[in-house]
Structure 1
Amino acid sequence: MATYVFVHGAWHGSWCWEKVIPLLEKQGHLVLTVDLPGIDSEKTHDVSINLQRYTDSVISVIDKANEPVILVGHSMGGIAISQAAERHPEKIKSLIYVTAYMLKDGEAMLDIIRTDKESLIAPNLIPCNEGTAFNLKSDKLIDIFYESCDQKDIENAASRITSQPSAVFSERLSLTDERYGKIPRYYIECLQDRAITNECQQDMYHALPCKKVFTLNTDHSPFYSKYEELAEILLHEI
């Protein structure tokens, strides 16, 4: 049996994996989740919330496992799993990017966001907490994240969205071939994604080749819209 560690993306929390986790646990696997610093809306103004703290959070969960883990990151969670892999490659069996930012050494999320011209993220950002965090326009959440999701899931997710600390958007990753580069990478692309467009996803996994790329015909939130298919990939294809 394997140990999975799930890392959520921006504006979300570990709750977003709630439909996927039971399917893995039913097969006898251990599943651990990370709540990145700042998901509590009262703390998103904390200027000390940065990539280092994100990485520390991931490592603290990985350390609970008795074996190397399958580390899964969604969206912004991609930068956290990459940097965690650089720090402790011996603790990670494989890296799974679920329509996630998979950056090269020296890149920052903003570099990618600025080139992803069709993404709905940048035009719908609202700076808040004196610029230390971002919100998204509430009337655009479905378009950005949940176009293929059921109404009940949309309502549940939208009610739990929080502000997102902004510092991590501009921080550059520090990755090496000797550490990060030796861990097998897999990418799960989502064809209908309007947060990270499919063209952008393809640019990233062509620039940083993966062992295998899987395709889901859905939006930015496959953990709701295609959770059974997502779990099937995690269970049987990787």
Structure 2
Amino acid sequence: MRFVLVHGGFHAAWCWQRTIPELNQLGHDAVAVDIPGHGARLDEESTLANRRDAIVAVLQPGDVLVGHSGGGFDITLAADAATDLLAHIIYLAAALPREGRTYPEAMAMRDSEDGSFDADVGEMLTYLDFAEDGSMRFATFEGAWKYFYHDCDEKTARWAFERLCPERFGDTTTAPVSVPRFWAADLPRSYIRCLQDRSKPRWLSDVVATRLGVEPLTIDASHSPFLSRPAELAELLVTATGTAPIGPLIPK
């Protein structure tokens, strides 16, 4: 199999450096993508359309598409554009769009009867600096270590922190997202929950898994198992491709 790995916010393709060799050891190919505004594409504008296109450009027939954290939004957009190329899609502690809603709305909505929003954005925001252009970055190493890498040794956590980039959201905060082909395609799919995750609330993981119609797989790791548990993550990604949904997709 060939895995296409998509990073989340602040990160870039470099975050998969430990996981790719582990997938290779298991006999699989893997490629990591830099989303516009990140990594080698840091200076590019970041929009829903060009983030989607960056992923679609590397897809080949039969690929397994993996998205981490905010990258779940991006892989869903790519899957909507190229459903025929994908054998499986895996959400790793990842987000999932809500049909017709913006990214912030999708991240805040609980599956309650009244469709209410969760106003508690969490302590993590106190560790971020916000620039005049609307971008944000982790202000200190301690904040990034606490929320992204607490189960990594300090050397690894500092290596990652030094490579984090500002997160520039572009139109992702204001543009409603519609991915009708994704919902209709009903692709084979999986969700992986990180049991020690301090960055993504447990309730949100549960909501995404329910909306995907899957029984979540788990890994006993922080929000960044690609660095702290790469061999275990690689095995779990392969295992995930053999799972099947237990319920329907829920678009809204």
TM bucket, shorter chain: 0.7 to 0.9
Counterpart check, 1:143 vs 2:138: no
Deviation at 1:99, TM superposition (A): 0.2
- Show the counterpart of 1:127: 130
Counterpart check, 1:173 vs 2:170: no
- Mapped to 2, the partners of 1:160 and 1:199 lie a distance apart of 29
Deviation at 1:132, TM superposition (A): 3.6
Amino acid at match of 1:16: C
Q: Provide the identity percentage.
A: 28
Counterpart check, 1:49 vs 2:60: no
Amino acid at match of 1:60: A
- Mapped to 1, the partners of 2:185 and 2:200 lie a distance apart of 23
- Show the counterpart of 1:58: 55
Amino acid at match of 2:57: S
- Show the counterpart of 1:199: 203
Amino acid at match of 1:10: G
- Mapped to 2, the partners of 1:146 and 1:182 lie a distance apart of 33
Counterpart check, 1:159 vs 2:158: no
Question: Which consecutive unaligned segments of at least 5 residues does structure 1 have?
Answer: none
Deviates more, 1:198-207 or 1:10-19: 198-207
Matches within 5 A, 1:213-224: 213-224=216-227
Deviates more, 1:2-11 or 1:149-158: 149-158
- Show the counterpart of 1:183: 187
1:157-176 CA-partner distances (Å, limit 9, x unpaired): 01101111122244332122
Counterpart check, 1:108 vs 2:91: no
1:102-152 CA-partner distances (Å, limit 9, x unpaired): 222123331244427364444433222x32421122231111111111222
Q: What SS does structure 2 have at the residue aligned with 1:165?
A: coil
Amino acid at match of 1:213: P
Deviates more, 1:158-167 or 1:111-120: 111-120
1:10-68 CA-partner distances (Å, limit 9, x unpaired): 10011111111001112332211110011159955x6x421111001001111xx3x22
- Mapped to 1, the partners of 2:184 and 2:156 lie a distance apart of 35
Amino acid at match of 1:99: A
- Show the counterpart of 1:24: 23
- Mapped to 1, the partners of 2:184 and 2:152 lie a distance apart of 34
After superposition, the Cα gap between the structure-2 partners of 1:178 and 1:34, relative to the gap in structure 1 and judged at 3 Å, is closer
After superposition, the Cα gap between the structure-2 partners of 1:136 and 1:57, relative to the gap in structure 1 and judged at 3 Å, is same
Q: What SS does structure 2 have at the residue aligned with 1:80?
A: helix
1:180-232 CA-partner distances (Å, limit 9, x unpaired): 6421120000122121112211122223322x410112211011122222111
- Mapped to 2, the partners of 1:234 and 1:151 lie a distance apart of 26
Deviation at 1:153, TM superposition (A): 1.3
After superposition, the Cα gap between the structure-2 partners of 1:112 and 1:142, relative to the gap in structure 1 and judged at 3 Å, is farther
TM-score (norm 2): 0.83
- Mapped to 2, the partners of 1:23 and 1:136 lie a distance apart of 29
- Show the counterpart of 1:76: 70
After superposition, the Cα gap between the structure-2 partners of 1:152 and 1:192, relative to the gap in structure 1 and judged at 3 Å, is same
After superposition, the Cα gap between the structure-2 partners of 1:217 and 1:26, relative to the gap in structure 1 and judged at 3 Å, is closer
- Mapped to 1, the partners of 2:127 and 2:99 lie a distance apart of 28
- Show the counterpart of 1:10: 9
Pairs aligned (count): 230
Give the superposed CA RMSD.
Answer: 2.2
- Mapped to 1, the partners of 2:19 and 2:128 lie a distance apart of 28
Question: Which consecutive unaligned segments of at least 5 residues does structure 2 have?
Answer: 109-117, 242-252
Q: What SS does structure 1 have at the residue aligned with 2:151?
A: coil
After superposition, the Cα gap between the structure-2 partners of 1:181 and 1:127, relative to the gap in structure 1 and judged at 3 Å, is farther
Runs of 4+ in structure 1 off by over 4 angstroms are 40-44, 177-181
Q: What SS does structure 2 have at the residue aligned with 1:131?
A: coil
- Mapped to 2, the partners of 1:116 and 1:193 lie a distance apart of 19
